[in-house]
Amino acid sequence: MSGPEIVLRGGRVIDPESGFDAVADVAIGEGRIAQVGAGLPADVLDGRPAGGPGGLPAGPADVDVAGLVVTAGFVDLHSHVTDLAGMRLQALDGVTTALELEAGATPVAAAYRAAGADGRPTNYGFAASWAQARMAEVAGLAPGGPLAGFLSRLGDPRWQRPADAAQLSAVLSRLAADLADGALGIGVLLGYAPAVEEGEYLRVAALAAEAGAPTFTHARDLIEMVPHAAIDGAEEIVRAAGETGAHMHYCHVNSTSQRHIDRVLSLVGRAQAAGARISTEAYPYGSGMTAIGAAFLAPERLRERGLVPSSLTYAPTGERVATEARLVELRQADPGGLAIIELLNEDDPADRGLLMRSLTFPGAVVASDAMPLTWTGPGPKTDPAAWPPTATAITHPRTAGTFSRAVRLLTSGTEPLSLARALSKCSLEPARLLEDRVPAMRRKGRLQVNADADVLVFDPAALADRATYANSTRPSAGIRHVLVNGTFVVRDGAIVAEARPGRPVRAQPR
């Protein structure tokens, strides 16, 4: 083994797993953390003088990180980003691994191939997609393809119909094939298909349990929202965990629970205490974002969530939807167009408290629900490699700011967590969530010898989100360096243009 290639010198090293929190050097080589210790001399590390004269090969590159925190890069379990600019915004928020687990992909092998062919700055991975499997087997739509196509079909009632026995078995076979191909779990956009029978969800959960794979669910409506519903969306997840033994991950508990967050979390907590395997995630924003054609955004259904048309901002134009008629028009003209939806009021202390409880709930991890960029307005549309993105590119601020914002919120206020605990919710805990099925995750979310060199270096005093609903692509502040598999993707606060060191994260099917 050759010597280290990079030594990060003199930073405050925080490893959320061991609790190590001290000033030390971190040596990186061959994509891994090679050594962590105080005052590592380059010549000892490398067996030769650093940058020696007389034609000797240069020693490891020393990077002075005094005064900065050095920790494991963030693991995002919930990223829909497929464009380079979106991935870079996430990297500038500390993310080194961005996984598409809620919507998922099918066939997953094609999704891994496409991501590998393009090259990505951050590590990537996919769950099998129940929604896309249904689009193929129930609606007869070709699977795969770009996210825009998927979003435009999300509100299409054809894929949401109850399945007959043959269709259900075809959906399950497709999911099983993806699991055998290394899918990280099964993503279930159940909330987008309110007519699907409960039994189908239990079959999907049973399949996951058999494969030892987690599921990632966008919950159905809560009973408070749709009192005549056959089952409460939160009860359904809990019940699937109890009945099948599957690990059920409850996606963005903040946005699907709205002002019922406390009720949902106490239900989850009771089920966990009784032994059910349920995990949760949240992002620290009061508004959501999804395709404007989604079933639950139909004008006649808005009031279930206490919404009115003007709770929606149509992202491509920045237009606040004025009337029901305009909403109908937009849903028909551009069903996949993204809309920002005001669910909780970030300026209201009670709502802010709800958001915070969704983040501080024991075991809840930070996950962004990051969205691809949409290029709006006249002029050249999209050069995905252009950096920074043009002013006409928009997304949800959670794409650019979730992790910095979460760390800042979690470490401030009246009951602040320690910095190490807050970082753990962004790195170690999401990695652990996947470890049973994905042994490769045991080397992520840690800053220790032999861990993958997915490393984040930030200035704790400056760390802050800067993206807003009006300026959604402003990168976070305070992120100084980000390395993925030992390669800089962010250096001195700037994107390294050519860097594509991201590697696939795959499950080990049993």
CB-nearer residue toward Zn ion: 218 or 443: 218
**Contact region for Zn ion (CB under 5 A) — 82-90, 145-153, 218-226, 313-321?**
218-226
**Cβ of residue 405: shortest distance to Zn ion, in angstroms?**
19
231: Cα within 13 Å, side-chain hemisphere? 20
Structure tokens at 91: 């990297």
Q: Is the Cβ of residue 294 or residue 400 nearer to Zn ion in the bound state? A: 294
Burial of 322 (0-12, 13-18, 19+ CB in 10 A): exposed
Supply the minimum distance, in Å, between the C-beta of residue 33 and Zn ion.
Answer: 34
Q: Measure the CA dihedral 30/36/38/40, to 10°.
A: -20
Is 443 a residue that touches Zn ion (CB under 5 A)?
Answer: no
Candidate segments 83-91, 210-218, 308-316, 471-479, binder of Zn ion by CB under 5 A: 210-218
Reduced to 3 states (helix: H, G, I; strand: E, B; else coil), residue 237 is helix
At position 458, the amino acid (one-letter code) is F
Q: Are 407 and 422 in contact (CB under 8 A)?
A: yes
Least CB distance from residue 360 to Zn ion, whole Å? 21
Per the CB < 8 A criterion, the answer to whether 103 and 159 are in contact is no
Is the Cβ of residue 128 or residue 417 nearer to Zn ion in the bound state? 128
Q: Is the dihedral of CA 357, 363, 364, 370 positive or negative?
A: positive
Closer residue to Zn ion (CB): 218 or 398: 218
Cβ distance to Zn ion smaller for residue 218 or 503:
218
Part of the chain binding Zn ion (CB under 5 A), chosen from 2-10, 91-99, 211-219, 454-462: 211-219
In the complex, the smallest distance separating the C-beta of residue 192 from Zn ion, rounded to whole angstroms, is 8
* Residue 396 near Zn ion by CB under 5 A: no
**CB 374 → Zn ion: shortest distance, Å?**
17
**Is residue 80 involved in binding Zn ion (CB under 5 A)?**
no
Q: How far is the CB of 293 from Zn ion (least distance, A)?
A: 15
Residue (26 or 135) nearer to Zn ion, CB? 135
Q: Please report how close the Cβ of residue 416 comes to Zn ion at its closest, in angstroms.
A: 29
Whole-number Å distance between alpha carbons of 365 and 427: 9
181-191 exposure pattern, b = at least 16 Cβ within 10 A, e = fewer: bbbbbbbbbbb
Site string (157-196) toward Zn ion, x via CB under 5 A:
----------------------------------------
**Rounded-to-integer distance, Cα 213 and Cα 186, Å:** 7
Residue with Cβ nearer Zn ion (216 or 403) = 216
Cβ proximity to Zn ion: between 364 and 479 the closer is 364
CA nearest to 476, candidates 488, 498, 459: 459
Q: How far is the CB of 186 from Zn ion (least distance, A)?
A: 14
220 is a site residue for Zn ion (CB under 5 A)? no
Comparing C-alpha atoms, which of 430, 428, 418, 407 is closest to residue 478?
407
Among the listed residues 458, 508, 510, the one whose alpha carbon sits nearest the alpha carbon of residue 483: 458
Helix H or strand E segment including 115: helix 108-118
Q: To the nearest whole angstrom, how small is the minimum distance from the Cβ of residue 252 to Zn ion?
A: 6
Of residues 217 and 424, the one with the C-beta less far from Zn ion: 217
Residue count, binding to Zn ion (CB under 5 A): 1
For 173, 295, 311, the CA distances from 314, given in Å and listed in that order, are 37, 16, 10
218/305 with CB nearer Zn ion = 218
* Minimum distance of Zn ion from residue 491's CB (angstroms): 33
Does position 218 bind Zn ion by CB under 5 A? yes
Closest residue to bound Zn ion by CB: 218
Extract the runs of DSSP E, i.e. beta strands, from 284-359. 287-291, 312-314, 319-320, 338-342
Q: Which spans of this chain sit near Zn ion (rule: CB under 5 A)?
A: 218
